[in-house]
Structure 1
Amino acid sequence: MITLITGATSGIGEQLAKLYAQAGDTVIACGRNQEKLNELAQLTNIESCQFDATDLQAIRSSTVAYTQFDRVILNAGNCEYIDDAHNFDSALFTRVVTTNLLSMGYCLEALLPRIKSGGQLVIVSSSVTYLPLPRSEAYGASKAGVSYLAKSLAIDLADIDVTLVHPGFVKTPLTQKNDFPMPMAVTAEKAANYIIKGVAKRRKEVHFPYRFTLILKCLRMLPLPIWLMLAKGLSR
């Protein structure tokens, strides 16, 4: 099996690369950090592939040697918060949407034609899409777009199984900067195991940790005015 993973130099992506390689897959670990990619390439069954996921030509040129994939996992992303909505930071918004959403389009154009019939496409979004949350205008909007994209692809790609991943809080270098509590946060290794198990079963959606994501799914059934009142309380 040949598995390509974007965002493989840290967090969930790094753990996915290591676990799939340990299971015997040939893993193409993709990311921008060449030093980290070199470290991963020292491990058995991992090949490194350096590119910026927001650069279509770089994706194409860096992956040209690979003609076919059994599985592509689009995991690369970033998170920044809008701290003052009254003074909306459009540059921040553009950065987050470009990194999290537009990069998906570039990766899909470059890689999707090479996923073999019967293969798998895994798209990592976020459980932030279940509910609007404080300061999440940029991150939440980008991930909502990612989730919609994956659901649409699941309809149109008749010969490829699409799995949409909605993680809760995961302890990674990215989330270390969060200045708020992260209830029921799991390690990156545990998150990767959740994803691998769900992908193996070809589930349409993988969400975890289940207790946390089920609470969010229940809360989203509240009338919007009630949730907005509760959410405003969280932001104080």
Structure 2
Amino acid sequence: MKVMITGATSGIGKQLSLGYAKAGHQVVACGRSQTKLDALTQAQPNISTLCFDLTQYDSYPELAADHGPLDLLILNAGDCEYIDDALNFDAKRFEKIININLIAIGYALQAWLPKLKTGGRLVLVSSSAQLLALPRAEAYGASKAGLSYLAKVLAIDLAKHQIEVTMVHPGFVQTPLTDRNTFAMPMMIGAEEAAETIMRGIAKGKRDIRFPRLFIWLMQSLSLLPFSLWRRLAMRMVSP
């Protein structure tokens, strides 16, 4: 199986790359750090790499002839920054996160979706943050909510092309991104466990992979509250 993975130099993407390569699949690992990509190829010889920035839309690399067609395209790359002062809204920060988490996905689809073979699968890694309005998450939450909606529409429109779509909604996973957080992150799991969960879900043909179960249940339950009540609870989360 041929697998292409973005955001492969750290966190979930790195563990997915190593996991699929270890299972004997041919992996195209994408990222911005050639040094980190080289480390992947040294760890698993059946990993090839593409080094580029997803937000540099005019310089997307072409897949080599021996890279395609793809059986599995996993668009995993993303970033997280928070809006600390909503009254003095940081539009540049908002734009940055929307670009990498959502707009870049559109360009990646344009570049590589045609490389997916009939019967292939597209995987979009969203977040459980899209389930609930969270303080300071104007940029991150909006981008992931948009990504989840995009995945649902693609699942409809790509069905006639025999391409399946899987959405991934993780809770807190220990990665370089979450290492920057200064707040409590309940029920956090490791990136390797997250990757294994995703791989199992893909193998079973799941269209929506959510984990950890208890955390997702809690988020979904809170999302059912009247917004006025959730708003009061959420405000307490950021009260001094």
Q: Could you tell me the TM-score, scaled by structure 2's length?
A: 0.96
Which residue in the other structure is 1:35 paired with? 35
Residue 208 of structure 2, aligned match among 205, 219, 222: 205
Give the aligned residue type for 1:204: R
Which residue in the other structure is 1:84 paired with? 85
> How many equivalent residue pairs?
235
Residue 229 of structure 2, aligned match among 215, 226, 229: 226
Q: Is the 8 A contact 1:56 1:110 kept in 2?
A: no
Q: Is the 8 A contact 1:49 1:62 kept in 2?
A: no
Give the aligned residue type for 2:169: H
Identity %, equivalent residues: 53
Deviations 1:187-218 (A, max 9, x none): 00000011001111111100000100111011
Helix, strand or coil at the partner of 1:85: coil
| TM-superposed deviation, 1:174 | 1.1
Cα separation, 2, equivalents of 1:12 and 1:84:
30
CA-atom RMSD, angstroms? 0.9
Q: Is the 8 A contact 2:2 2:68 kept in 1?
A: no
User: Which has the higher mean CA deviation after the structures are superposed, 71-80 or 34-43?
Assistant: 34-43
Is 1:52 the equivalent of 2:49?
Answer: no
Deviations 1:59-106 (A, max 9, x none): 2x3424433100000000000000111110000000000010001001
Helix, strand or coil at the partner of 2:30: strand
| TM-superposed deviation, 1:13 | 0.1
Cα separation, 2, equivalents of 1:55 and 1:71:
23
Cα separation, 2, equivalents of 1:122 and 1:155:
14
Give the aligned residue type for 2:139: A
Cα separation, 2, equivalents of 1:62 and 1:175:
32
Cα separation, 1, equivalents of 2:137 and 2:99:
15
Give the aligned residue type for 1:21: A
The correspondence of residues 110-149 of structure 1 with structure 2, limited to 5 A, is 110-149=111-150
Which residue in the other structure is 2:178 paired with? 175
Q: Is the 8 A contact 1:71 1:121 kept in 2?
A: yes
Question: Which runs of no fewer than 5 residues in structure 1 stay unpaired?
Answer: none
Runs of 4+ in structure 1 off by over 6 angstroms are: none
Helix, strand or coil at the partner of 1:86: coil
Question: Which runs of no fewer than 5 residues in structure 2 stay unpaired?
Answer: none
Which residue in the other structure is 1:185 paired with? 188
Cα separation, 2, equivalents of 1:152 and 1:41:
35
Which residue in the other structure is 1:4 paired with? 4
| TM-superposed deviation, 1:55 | 2.6
Q: Is the 8 A contact 1:51 1:62 kept in 2?
A: no
Q: Is the 8 A contact 1:50 1:62 kept in 2?
A: no
Cα separation, 2, equivalents of 1:58 and 1:195:
29
| TM-superposed deviation, 1:56 | 3.0
| TM-superposed deviation, 1:53 | 1.2
Helix, strand or coil at the partner of 1:87: coil
Give the aligned residue type for 2:215: F
Deviations 1:120-169 (A, max 9, x none): 10000000000000000010011111111001101111111100000000
Cα separation, 1, equivalents of 2:142 and 2:19:
30
Q: Is the 8 A contact 1:55 1:106 kept in 2?
A: no
Give the aligned residue type for 1:175: T
